[in-house]
Amino acid sequence: PAAPRINPSILSADFVNMQADLERIATADFVHVDVMDNHFVPNLTFGPQMVERIQQTSPVPLDVHLMITDADRWAPGYAELGAASVTFHLEAAAEPIALARRLRARGARAGVAVKPGTPVEGLFEHLHEFDQILVMTVEPGFGGQSFMGDMMPKLRSLSAEARTRGADVWLQVDGGISASTIGQAAEAGADTFVAGSAVFGATDVASSVADLRALAAE
């Protein structure tokens, strides 16, 4: 299997020292950028203007996670500003397949995310339409929450379906990923790991990225 990808979430970075924090994660695979609108989730971060500056500043490509309503309207703009991947929530999209196609047409990897209460079976026959599926292991909105181990069956079934159907789709997990939980998620089939507080809360950010990558590969 490919080397596991570690995507630090800048939700746990210092918002007024963003450039320095982006440089601290230069060894990561992608920088995970949480866009929240205070409507789809009860928290507010930033929008396209900030993401564009992060895109211009970051040494690593952007993995944008949109926690916003009306994804059909807003997601393509994030692909246009150069994000490597754009992930919208299945619960927030009227036409998820059409939206994924619009993201790919704009040069981005197309991702779809599911909240803990949302089943994934409906995605099985459309796996080839997506480049990544994000299984949330917390209720979206905040960093520092506890990992939900009961989401592992979703990863296992997605992993089995992708294998059966020959779909080249990355399986991402987000929420509560740390040195003590990343192994379970990897074992269940995840290959791409978002970590906020575990990375930015570490005294040595670069070694926390390396340690998580090694633990996921075990």
Q: What is the SS3 assignment for 129?
A: helix
- Shortest-Cβ-distance residue relative to ligand DX5: 196
**174 a catalytic residue:** yes
Q: Which does 189 bind (CB under 5 to 8 A by kind): ligand DX5, Zn ion, none?
A: none
Alpha-carbon distance of 78 to 29, in angstroms, equals 19
Site string for Zn ion, 10-49 (x = CB under 5 A): ------------------------x---------------
Q: What is the SS3 assignment for 138?
A: coil
Per-position DSSP letters for 28-59, written without gaps between them: SS-EEEEEEBSSSSS-B---HHHHHHHHHH-S
State the nearest-atom distance from the C-beta of 139 to ligand DX5, in Å.
7
Q: Which is nearer to ligand DX5, 118 or 124 (CB)?
A: 118
Distance of alpha carbon 127 from the chain centroid:
17
Site for ligand DX5 in 26-45 (CB under 6 A): 32, 34
Phi, psi of 123 (to 5 degrees): -85, -15
Active site members: 34, 174
Q: Where along the sequence are the contacts to ligand DX5 (CB under 6 A)?
A: 9, 11-12, 32, 34, 65, 138, 140-145, 174-177, 194-198
